[in-house]
Amino acid sequence: MPSITRSSFVVLALAVLLAGCGSKKTAKDRYVASLNAMCENFAAREQKICSPSSQSDVAARGDRIVIAFEETILRPLQALPAPPELRLPAQRLRTLAVQQRDVLR
C-alpha cells in the first residue's frame, strides 16, 4: 500500500525539515525526536505485518495496518504537545495523519 509508506515519509520529512541545529536539546529538538521515534515504530510494525501485494492480502492485513498506524502515529501525534513555534505545522501534521488513517480504512 503505497499510501502507508508515503505517510511514514511525510512524517519523517516534516521531522527533518523542522530539525534545528546546535548541541542543546530544545523543545523543537525533542518534538522532532518524538516524531522520528513514531516513524520508526510504525515502520517496524508495518514490516512485521508485511506489505500486502494483492486484494486478499489487503483484506487480511489492512485492519492490522490501520491499528498499527493509529497506535504508533495518530494517537501519539495527537497527544504530543508541539512547541509554540511549530504549532501550525503540528496542527497540519495532525490533520494529515487523520486523513491518512481515513484512507487506510
In angstroms, rounded to a whole number, what is the distance separating the alpha carbons of residues 101 and 105? 6
In angstroms, rounded to a whole number, what is the distance separating the alpha carbons of residues 42 and 72? 5
Q: Is the pLDDT of residue 89 over 70?
A: yes
Output the nine-digit C-alpha cell for 77.
Answer: 501525534
Q: Is the pLDDT of residue 17 over 60?
A: no
Mean pLDDT of 72-87: 96
Predicted local distance difference test score (pLDDT) of residue 8: 62
Predicted local distance difference test score (pLDDT) of residue 3: 56
Per-domain residue ranges of the chain: 2-104
| Region of poorest pLDDT, from 41-45, 54-58, 59-63, 96-100 | 54-58
In angstroms, rounded to a whole number, what is the distance separating the alpha carbons of residues 30 and 86? 12
- Kindly report the pTM of this predicted structure: 0.71
Q: Is the pLDDT of residue 102 over 80?
A: yes
In angstroms, rounded to a whole number, what is the distance separating the alpha carbons of residues 91 and 59? 31
Predicted local distance difference test score (pLDDT) of residue 83: 97
